Homo-oligomer: A and B are copies of this chain.
Amino acid sequence: MIIDVHGHYTTAPAALGAWRDLQIAALKDPSKAPKAADLKISDDDIRETIENNQLKLIGDFETSSTWAAICNELCYRVSQLFPDYFIPAAMLPQSPGVDPKTCIPELEKCVKQYGNVGINLNPDPSGGHWTSPPLSDRQWYPIYEKMVEYDIPAMIHVSTSCNPAFHTTGSHYLNADTTAFMQCLTSDLFKDFPTLRFLIPHGGGAVPYHWGRFRGLAQELKKPLLDEHLLNNIYFDTCVYHQPGIDLLNTVIPVKNVLFASEMIGAVRGIDPTTGHYYDDTKRYIASSKILSDADRFQIYEGNARRVFPRLDAALKAKGL
């Protein structure tokens, strides 16, 4: 089995986008805001968007959507219509300057009613203005307490950049990955929450490429070795779109900390002219790796995801998988 821990439901029905446009247009005049009930999406609409997109390509997904309640329900419906392919992670209704603990009701609903096995936590709800305190700040602790209670990990993934300095998928995403890792490195967050688990997407941003730099910075800050300080709590996905990058990831980061993912359908959708294959067909890079054994590959494809997402493991076992 191959578990992809980083999928995007970017092909949602057009009615969702139209509804969102109305919602944004009404920000200055709330009386014009559309109601959730105004949004009509049939099961056939969902089936069509999935069968013509994700299912043509792969078999797993995780949401990185933008508006929590509607999108979480939509993803839940996807998971119900295609139970052999998808299991949802919850987007939280985060807003700049709003206390993260306001997200807890949505988080609880998603875990209890929708069977979500993880959450997405955005370290920068401002969208590129970086106005939130670091992930080590106590304002985030109510979310962490719930994560520990439910034994669910968080993907640490930002959303669209609203800052013209940052291209969303080319710099904001990767910068956020590096930033989140460094926020953890400088803190003692995982002393307070020894079982808290963060999944840093896009192969950890710049982190594995600069592993020596981060080891050296931890040393200067009198922190323990990174294996002990962070690698019982931080995991990286494989959304790195060329063989040398994947090989570096697997050279410096222990196999136990790497989880398979493709971001499909995500940032980079073209065919690499140097290989003739899709850039984001990350399975090819793992399959072709000369560094990994078959046992390593099993951990990256499946074993690690079962360990980091225990509710996913339980759901699979309930199906005899």
Residues of A within 8 A of B (CB): 123-124, 128-130, 132-134, 163-167, 169-171, 174-175, 178-179, 181-183, 185-186, 202-203, 205-206, 208-217, 219-220, 225, 240-242, 244-245, 247-248, 251-252, 267-270, 272-274, 279-280
Contact = CB atoms under 8 A, between A and B. Distances in A.
A280 B217 CA distance: 11
Contacts of A171: 175, 178-179, 181-183
A208 B210 contact: no
Contacts of A241: 210, 212-213, 215-216
Nearest to A280: B216
Number of copies: 2
12 contacts: A165-B179, A166-B182, A167-B183, A170-B217, A171-B178, A206-B209, A208-B209, A215-B242, A215-B279, A216-B270, A225-B273, A245-B252
Given A210-B240, A244-B211, A245-B209, A178 B174 contact: yes
Given A212-B241, A212-B242, 10 more contacts: A130-B130, A167-B183, A167-B217, A170-B186, A171-B181, A174-B205, A210-B245, A215-B274, A217-B267, A245-B252
Contacts of A251: 244
Given A133-B165, A165-B183, A174 B242 contact: no
A130 B128 contact: yes
A208 B245 CA distance: 8
A280 B214 CA distance: 12
A272 B206 contact: no
B210 A166 contact: no
A190 to B, nearest CB: 17
Contacts of A273: 219, 225
